[in-house]
Structure 1
Amino acid sequence: MTEMSRIQFAVTVITHFLLVATSIGMMLVTVIFEMMYAFGGDKNEKYGRLALFFGRIFFFSFATGVLTGIVMELQFGLNWSSYSKFFGDIIGVPLVIESMLAFFVESNLIGLWRFTWGKMNKKWHAFIGLALLISSMFSIVWIISINAFMQNPYGYHMEGQHARLNSFIDLFENPQYPNEFGHVFIGILIVSGFVTAGISAWQILHKRDPEIFKRALQIGLLVAVPVAFSQQLLADNQIQATMAVQPMKFAAVEGQYDNAGSKTTGVPWYAFATINEQKKTIKGLAIPDLGSYFGSGQFTGKAVGMKTIAKAYHTKFDKTVAKSYKGHMSYYPPVTLMFIAMRWMVYAGFFFTIFGVLAMLMMMRKKKDIAEHRKTLITLGIAMCFPYITITAGWIVAEVGRFPFVVYGLFTQFDAVSPTVTAASVTMSLTIFTIMDALLLYTMVYISHRYMKKGVPDINGEYPELEPHLDPFDRRVFKDA
């Protein structure tokens, strides 16, 4: 039952986060294009048209994201009521604020931005778009504050069976918060850049306004490549924070069961490996000493393995938060899943930086136009899926790696499940929610693809060349006469 509830929550949260990343990413490039249109002079109409094009993809992703968000929040009352009861005083206010920003502020700004296009000074209109982008980003602020608390409980006290914050400010003073927020925000920027570049490459391949989309492709790469470099540094900071708070998670993503390393030797890093979770062994291609470098910056040093950490967890938690399991609680997360997810993020980071730089260099070549590099364009079109897989892998590492805790060190996932929920009800709700999320994702992709096939609208947001030409003697011509 607990496993089914966890799968259900994973499906709904991942679906919602993919759409959140898309909506914020598309609004970011929309604002960039509109700023270039508004402040770039009279010859930059093409950027205004691009703003309208990517703005529509933002609308579709925002609308479906709101619906998946509603589905996601239903989880707290359905399958995780014990968690809501225990930590409701902490998670309630940020969730309400985030909902108000998403449903009220953003919704109003969306209407204001869309229906005042061409009806007010374009510079002032660009600042409405900027306000919309900022309000969208504030959703991350509140959600990350909740997740940072779940990763590292901070600034709280217990009142009976309820956890309460000492101060609302403590949510943002959590040492886990800055690294986690930065890591997620940069990940969304990578989504923004590569999705923009991928859509533009796809349009160029199909010869839809290729000259305009060449500029969009350049802007997308200029957004993605610098932040892909910086993500490597932020990831290292996140690793250090994880090692300090959740040593089991760090050991699991490295597949490290036994203690290793010393003052003069380092810990190997497995590039590829097979893991036997029953026998607790790992075999594969190991790079000597590189494992010590991650999180410390040095190629020597001791590292504690999962076997030692599990013993320490039994001593620390068996008689407190896991006392009802009488020493039978397992503190090992799904190691193989964690190992694969972490390797995907590492290799994807290298791909984003190296391929992004190569694509930018090809864009700068004068002898051969980018439209002639079909393989590069096809790769860009396919690669826009990779950031979504990467942020999903990041979610797996962050959330699954916290096993068996829903709030690290305080509350187990098994105790957080609703006490009256049955396996049959979880199976039914999982099936319904999965179908709903799949339909919403399909709807978003389908509608976006339909508009992509139309190409870039004119500066008024219309497609006059697609309007049917009526016969001048057709009676429909005189219907309003």
Structure 2
Amino acid sequence: MESLMLARIQFASTTIFHFIFVPLSIGLAFIIAIMQTLYLVKKKEVYKKMSIFWGKFFLINFAVGVVTGIIQEFQFGMNWSSYSRFMGDVFGAPLAIEALLAFFIESTFIGLWIFGWDKLPKKLHLACIWLVSIATMLSAFWILAANSFMQNPVGYVLQNGRAETNDFLAVITNPKLLVAFPHVIFGALATGAFFVVGISAWNYLKKRDLDFYKRSMTIGLIVGIVSSLGIAFSGHSQSTYLMGAQPMKMAAAEGLYEDSGDPAAWTVIANIDTENKDTSMRLEIPYALSFLAYGEFKGKVDGMNTLQAEYEELYGEGNYIPPVKTTFWSFRFMAGIGGVLILLSILALYWNSRGTLVNKGKFLKILFASIFLPFIANTAGWIMSEIGRQPWIVNGLMKTADGVSPTVSAGSVLFSLVAFSLIYTLLAAAMVKLFVKVAKEGPYEKQKEDSSSTDPFSTGGLEHATE
């Protein structure tokens, strides 16, 4: 296998694995901040216990996420040196700000939050977790600013064979960034919300600590339904944006080789024949694609064949059609899961408010399984965004094949791919083991006889810290 394909596989695997942790950190930090705010307002000890208990999951996830992020960024210089030379002036600034500003805020105030229980004034301690939550979102903003340039290059000049920033304000107000950032944040909040909901549902089934988990479930479901609806509305904004900035991605996401009719129907499922460039056996919703693309129930969408001819005139001969099946189905996984999350939130919130959710065993098992749905949707959305941009690594400026390191052999990439995969496997196993341990211990784990720790995050210290 050639080095280009191995480098792409490595980038995809490391980024997907890292992106498991980022949304969960953002979502849990926000939910924990809400719980601690309720503790300050209502002065009920249970909300403090909730903040500490769910904080354990957050800290485990954050620690593993930091490690995976370092590995993920390391490969830019290793496997993609040509890309780094071309994009370094633009790409470097947002990444540096993310590390020097957002990550430092996260790290500093996480430490103050962990060790500040009963030491800092309550309002100041609460401010620490809110600053952590804001910083996690700022991290996402700066990373997306860099990625958005790859989707829609703005604020730059080409000089000496490199893209150099000449308008930093344009980079951080990129139209792609402005539609992507809310979508990612809502997705992250849904990830954290359904993690809380799923763990709470598991304890409903066990009939353990029902008052604690009912309160957690309620907060998770409220955040879940708001964020799921936010995903839908922000996703619509992204679709409208794609029509103007990346029409080929939009056409691939719909499996449209030929121009649609006017109005355009949205395809739910279809059989896609990439060899003959044909899509058959469509199950369609009339008018829906026009609404997604233009916000109104009229307007046609150009097909990939039409766009291919236009791109050849602009950029020269070559294939400008991305992997269609991957783009098509990843979009449907993302959109379909979003609809399922909305439905689950509404049903669970209704039954939980009536006190009957605890008796619905089969539905609780579905809620427990729903922990994984936002992770799948987040991954599918990322795949659709990145694969749908191909063959470009920087849209309209540099092709992916031109961004790979020219002197790195396929053997070297394969070795690092295997090594990173092994590291990630060990990290995943450790994280799952710790998550299961914390979940089984629950929020009221008894103080160990041989422990005198007052650290609320130490093993067995939770009950002592909240007495």
- TM-score, normalised by the number of residues in structure 1: 0.90
- Output the CA distance in 2 between the equivalents of 1:298 and 1:134: 35
Inter-partner Cα distance in structure 2 for 1:467 and 1:336 = 59
Aligned residues: 448
1:397 to 370, 384, 388: 384
1:464 paired residue number:
446
Residue 15 in 1 paired to residue 49 in 2? no
Q: Distance in 1 between matches of 2:449 and 2:399?
A: 59
Instruction: Tell me, yes or no, if the aligned pair for 1:27 and 1:54 is still in contact at 8 Å.
Output: no
Residue deviations 1:372-403 (CA, integer Å, cap 9, x gap): 11112111110110000001111011111000
1:103 deviation in Å? Answer: 4.9
Compute the displacement of 1:292 (Å): 2.1
Equivalent position of 1:291 in the other structure: 289
Shift of 1:268: 2.7
- 1:198-251 Cα deviation digits (max 9, x unpaired): 111112223332220111001000001022113222111111111101110000
* Residue of 334, 338, 344 corresponding to 1:355: 344
Identity of aligned residues (%): 39
**Shift of residue 314 of structure 1?**
1.2
Q: Is the 8 A contact 2:183 2:230 kept in 1?
A: no
Question: 1:322 — aligned with what?
Answer: none
Select which of 264, 268, 279 maps to 2:265. Answer: 268
Could you say what secondary structure the match of 1:385 adopts?
Answer: helix
Does 2:379 align with 1:387? no
> Counterparts of 2:449 and 2:255 in 1: how far apart (Å)?
59
Q: Distance in 2 between matches of 1:121 and 1:172?
A: 36
SS in 2 for 1:157: strand
1:234 corresponds to: 234
Instruction: Give the whole-Å Cα distance in 2 for the aligned partners of 1:139 and 1:12.
Output: 18
| Letter matched to residue 410 of structure 1 | L
Say whether the 8 Å CA contact 1:38–1:123 is kept in structure 2. Answer: yes
SS in structure 1 at match of 2:271: strand
Does 2:179 correspond to 1:179?
yes
Q: 1:54: Cα distance to partner?
A: 0.8
Give, in whole Å, the separation in 2 of the partners of 1:223 and 1:260: 38
The verdict on how the C-alpha distance between 1:298 and 1:138 changes in structure 2, with shifts beyond 3 A counting, is: closer
1:147 and 1:338 mapped to 2: Cα distance?
18
SS of equivalent to 2:268: strand
Deviation at 1:123, TM superposition (A): 2.4
- Once the two structures are superposed, residues 83-134 of structure 1 have per-residue CA deviations (whole angstroms, 9 ceiling, x without a partner) of 0001101111211221224653322211111111122322221111111211
Q: Which residue pairs with 1:306 in the alignment?
A: 304
Contact 1:261–1:300 (Cα < 8 Å) also in 2: no
Q: CA deviation at 1:467?
A: 4.1
Which has the larger Rg? 1
Deviations 1:275-299 (A, max 9, x none): 1111111112233333222222333
Contact 2:255–2:328 (8 Å) recurs in 1:
yes
- In angstroms, what is the RMSD of aligned CA positions? 1.6
The residue aligned with 2:456 is none
Question: 1:54-93, CA deviations, whole angstroms, 9 ceiling, x for partnerless residues?
Answer: 1111111111111001100111111100000011011112
State the 1:355 CA deviation: 1.7
Q: 1:169 to 1:289 in 2, by over 3 A?
A: closer
Aligned to 1:332: 321
Conservation of the 8 A alpha-carbon contact between 1:196 and 1:220 = yes
User: 1-side partners of 2:220 and 2:21: how far apart?
Assistant: 18
Match of 2:277 in 1: 280
CA contact (8 A) 1:252 1:338 kept: yes
The answer to whether the Cα contact below 8 Å between 1:255 and 1:282 also exists between their aligned partners in 2 is: yes
CA distances 1:380-439 after superposition (whole Å, capped 9, x unpaired): 110110000001111011111000001100010000000012221222111111222222
* Structure 1 residue 332: Cα displacement: 1.3
Do the aligned partners of 1:66 and 1:102 also contact (CA within 8 Å) in 2?
no
Aligned to 2:412: 425
- Alignment-mate amino acid for residue 315 of structure 2: F
Greater CA deviation, 349-358 or 243-252? Answer: 349-358
CA contact (8 A) 2:64 2:431 kept: yes
Match of 2:7 in 1: 5
Which residue number corresponds to residue 89 of structure 1? 89
Query: 1:9: how far off?
Result: 0.6
Q: Which residue of 2 aligns with 1:58?
A: 58
3-state secondary structure, aligned to 2:168: coil
Please state how far the C-alpha of 1:173 moved relative to its aligned partner. Answer: 2.0
For 2:296 and 2:94, locate their aligned partners in 1 and report how far apart those are by CA, in whole Å.
39
Could you list the per-position Cα deviations for residues 279-338 of structure 1 after superposition, in whole angstroms to 9, with x for gaps in the alignment?
A: 1111122333332222223333222100111111111112xxxxxxxx3x3211111111
> In the alignment, what sits opposite 2:151?
151
Q: Is residue 103–residue 136 contact of structure 2 (8 Å, CA) maintained in 1? A: no
Larger mean CA deviation between 244-253 and 341-350 belongs to 341-350
The alignment partner of 2:267 has SS state of strand
Structure 2, unmatched stretches of 5+, are 452-467
The residue identity in structure 2 corresponding to 1:5 is A
Amino acid at match of 1:12: T
Does the 8 Å contact 2:191/2:375 carry over to 1?
yes
Once residues 252 and 30 of structure 1 are traced to their aligned partners in structure 2, the CA distance between those partners, rounded to angstroms, is: 39
Residue 244 of structure 1 aligns with which residue?
244
SS of the residue corresponding to residue 251 of structure 1 reads helix
- Counterpart code for 1:342: F
Q: Which amino acid aligns with 1:374?
A: G
Aligned partner of 1:440 in structure 2 is 427
Partner SS state of residue 7, structure 1:
helix
What TM-score results when the alignment is normalised by the length of structure 2? 0.93
Q: Unmatched 5+ residue regions in structure 1?
A: 319-326, 458-462, 470-481
- Paired letter, 1:24: I
User: Matched residues in 2 for 1:171 and 1:467: separation?
Assistant: 57
Give the conservation status (yes or no) of the 8 Å contact 2:344–2:367: no
8 Å CA contact 2:50–2:443 kept in 1: the answer is yes
Q: Give me the whole-angstrom Cα distance separating, in 1, the residues matched to 2:353 and 2:58.
A: 29
Do 1:259 and 1:303's aligned partners in 2 also have CA atoms closer than 8 Å? yes
3-state SS in 1 of match to 2:195: helix
CA contact under 8 A between 1:24 and 1:58: conserved in structure 2? no
SS at match of 2:294: coil
- Pick aligned residue for 1:39 from 33, 38, 41: 41
Q: Please state if 1:315 is matched with 2:313.
A: yes
